[in-house]
Amino acid sequence: MLTPAAVKAAQPQTRAYKLFDLRGLFLFVAPSGLRSWRWKYRRAGKEKLVTLGQYPAMSLPEARAARDAARERVGAGVGPAAARASSAPIETFAQLARGWHAHQVPRWSAVHAADVLASLERDAFPALGELPIGTIDAPTILAVLNQMEGRGRLTTAKRMRQRLSAIFRYGMVKRLCTDDPAAILARMMMPARPARQHPALLTIEECKQLLVDADSTPARALVRLASRFLALTAVRLDAVRGMRWGEIEDLDGAEPIWRVPAARMKLALVKKDDDRFDHVVPLSGAAMQVLQAVRVQNGYDAQSPAPADQLVFSRGAAPIGEGAIRHLYIDAGYGGRHVPHGWRASFSTILNELLPAERAAIDRALAHTPKDKVEAAYNRAEQMARRRALFDRWAALLEA
């Protein structure tokens, strides 16, 4: 429980931190020196957060009163964040960024939307979140980006500058700010390192051992299962993270498939929801065993099936972390030797060596499209039987 003296003594540090009071109330202290009262609560099983006001303009007793009022609104079925947003104009960067994010969400996949918001909350909000929009200038933003570059996250810093610029442009269109201070920083960013191939294990013996070693780590069971499913299907990581039960067809039948929506594939599509370009993955028996283990773990069965829109590999309402499987491989001793995306190279290299006549089918199994754009558009022969045989062979090699 906080005291007025403890709140007054809270000083900024190099990283943001929190001082907790009671019933979800806490003081957030940013490196910039701004201190704000925030309240964490749960609604419909989901954790939510609302900013109540800034200290010292709002004292500790006033913050507690604001929290209690917000609790009453939640009890009455009204979200405090929504109520506050409707009664107060957008003033801070965090409010502007969340407005931009909400505007963009319909254009993005759920996984990408979650990743964008997480990156802002992790790297931008601690320093910029509570700042009034009109006080943020280019040097302030550059300091945030330089901190990211100092941690070696050069590509991520470039992406963050682009997102910050998009946020301010959104604010200009909405007449909430007058300029885009992130726009002029593009040439001041450190150049990204040359692109490197994703580290990958290229022998079946190494791949099998990785799965064994990963299963021996103390990582969460769901992350280990996601890792094995990723290995067995050789899809991109975001496809697994965003996978929903409704995408699986013939779940309990003889020839189950996973239909990955085109929106989550790395494709340039005219229409985002054009299901002609969905990637169809035949599921081997080993892959189905993984899904059955997930169903059991989450309490689903034939009498109580998983909702179609429920994520398969999730932590609550969000997908497993973007770096969860990569950290699993590091903990298993494979850092720098294999990454989640590396399973695609493993699948291609090993099967092409064993089955050189199946190169075209292997490429299609990886969702590689022909270079000829006309052929890519009109030659839609799926060769499903050959692709199912490939995934069955791959599963047999990994599980032997």
Q: Which of 21-25, 72-76, 210-214 has the lowest mean pLDDT?
A: 72-76
The Cα angle at residue 291 between residues 285 and 297, in degrees rounded to 5: 140
Q: Starting at the earlier edge strand, list the strands of the sheet with 248-249.
A: 248-249, 257-260, 279-282
pLDDT band at 72 (very low <50, low <70, confident <90, very high): confident
pLDDT for residue 270: 35
The whole-angstrom separation of Cα 168 and Cα 306 is: 40
pLDDT band at 189 (very low <50, low <70, confident <90, very high): confident
Note the pLDDT tens digit of each residue in 219-256.
999 999 999 999 999 999 989 999 999 999 988 888 99
pTM recorded for the entire structure: 0.56
Strand 257-260 versus strand 35-43 pairing type: unpaired
Percent of the chain with pLDDT over 90: 43
Using an 8 Å Cβ cutoff, are 158 and 146 in contact?
Answer: no
pLDDT for residue 89: 55
Using an 8 Å Cβ cutoff, are 98 and 134 in contact?
Answer: no
Using an 8 Å Cβ cutoff, are 116 and 158 in contact?
Answer: no
Average pLDDT over residues 175-198: 81
Query: 140: buried, middle or exposed (CB in 10 Å: 19+, 13-18, 0-12)?
Result: middle
> What is the CA 393 to chain-centroid distance, rounded?
31
pLDDT for residue 80: 54
CATH superfamily membership of 89-195: Tyrosine recombinase, N-terminal domain (1.10.150.130)
Q: Taking 50 as the threshold, does the pLDDT of residue 84 lie above it?
A: no
What's the per-residue H, E or C state across the chain? CCCHHHHHHCCCCCCCEEEECCCCEEEEECCCCCEEEEEEEEECCEEEEEEEEEECCCCHHHHHHHHHHHHHHHHCCCCHHHHHHHHCCCCEHHHHHHHHHHHHHHHCCHHHHHHHHHHHHHHHHHHHCCCEHHHCCHHHHHHHHHHHHHCCCHHHHHHHHHHHHHHHHHHHHCCCCCCCCCHHHHHHCCCCCCCCCCCCCCCHHHHHHHHHHHHCCCCCHHHHHHHHHHHHHCCCHHHHHCCEHHHEECCCCCCCEEEECHHHCCCCCCCCCCHHHCEEEECCHHHHHHHHHHHHHCCCCCCCCCCCCCECCEECCEECCCCHHHHHHHHCCCCCCCCCCHHHHHHHHHHHHHCHHHHHHHHHHCCCCCCCHHHHHHCCCCCHHHHHHHHHHHHHHHHC
pLDDT for residue 26: 93
Q: Which tops the pLDDT comparison, 266 or 174?
A: 174
Q: Taking 90 as the threshold, does the pLDDT of residue 383 lie above it?
A: no
Question: Which residues sit opposite 39 in a β-bridge?
Answer: 25, 50
pLDDT for residue 174: 86
**CA-based end-to-end distance of the chain:** 57
Query: 312: buried, middle or exposed (CB in 10 Å: 19+, 13-18, 0-12)?
Result: buried
pLDDT band at 78 (very low <50, low <70, confident <90, very high): low
The whole-angstrom separation of Cα 114 and Cα 160 is: 15
* Domains in the chain: boundaries: 1-88, 89-195, 204-399
Residue type, 297: Q
Strand 279-282 versus strand 257-260 pairing type: antiparallel
Rounded to the nearest integer, the mean pLDDT of the chain is 84
pLDDT band at 385 (very low <50, low <70, confident <90, very high): confident
Q: Which CATH class is domain 204-399?
A: mainly alpha
Domain with residues 1-88, CATH architecture: 2-Layer Sandwich (3.30)
Note the pLDDT tens digit of each residue in 278-299.
889 999 999 999 999 999 888 8
